[in-house]
A = this chain, B = another copy of it.
Amino acid sequence: MDIELDRPGLTDDVGFLLSRASGRLVRASNAVLAGHGLRVRPWSVLVLACDAPEGVSQRELADVLGLDPSQIVLLVDELSAAALVERRPSPADRRNKLVLGTAAGQAVRAAAARDVELALAAELADFSAGERQLLQELLTRLVFGGGSPAGRG
C-alpha cells in the first residue's frame, strides 16, 4: 500500500527522476552498444563526428556533450584506434583537429543507431508518439534552452 506524504518526496523530484531515467537508458543503450564494441560515450562522439560533413573540433564535442576536453581526447583516441573516426588538422586553424567519421565509422554508426533506437523504443513502450515527442521537446529546451552551451539559435 502507498503512503501519501504531505511533503514532496524524492520520487517527485525532477532531478532525481531525470537521474534515474538517464541511468536506465544509459544502461539499456550500453547493453545494446556492447554488441558493436561501443559504450554510450564513445558512441555519441561517433555520431557527432559522422553527422558533421566537415568534421567537428574536439572543443565542439566537449561543448555539445558537456564533457571536459580531456575526456574527448581519450574518447577520440579510442574511436581512432578502432578506425571509426580520424583526426584531421583544420585547414583554417591548425590548433583545431577536426574529427571525422570514417566509412567504417559511418557503417557502425548506422547499425548501432538502429539498435539503440530499438532499445529506446522498448524503454518508451508506454509512451505514445506524441508523448515521446513532447518529452523530447521538453528535454531539448531544458538542455539547450537556458544557458545554452552550444548556442542553438
Binding site for B on A (CB under 8 A): 2-5, 7-26, 28-29, 40, 44, 47-48, 51, 53, 64-66, 113, 116-117, 120, 123-127, 131-132, 134-136, 138-146, 149-151, 153
Please tell me how many copies of the chain the complex holds: 2
A151 to B19, CA, bound (A): 19
Q: Which residue of the partner chain, among B24, B47, B48, B53, contacts A143 with CB atoms under 8 Å?
A: B24
Q: Are B20 and A25 within 8 A (Cβ)? A: no
Q: Are A132 and B48 within 8 A (Cβ)? A: no
Q: Are A14 and B120 within 8 A (Cβ)? A: yes
Q: Which residue of the partner chain, among B10, B18, B53, B120, contacts A22 with CB atoms under 8 Å?
A: B18
Q: Are A22 and B24 within 8 A (Cβ)? A: no
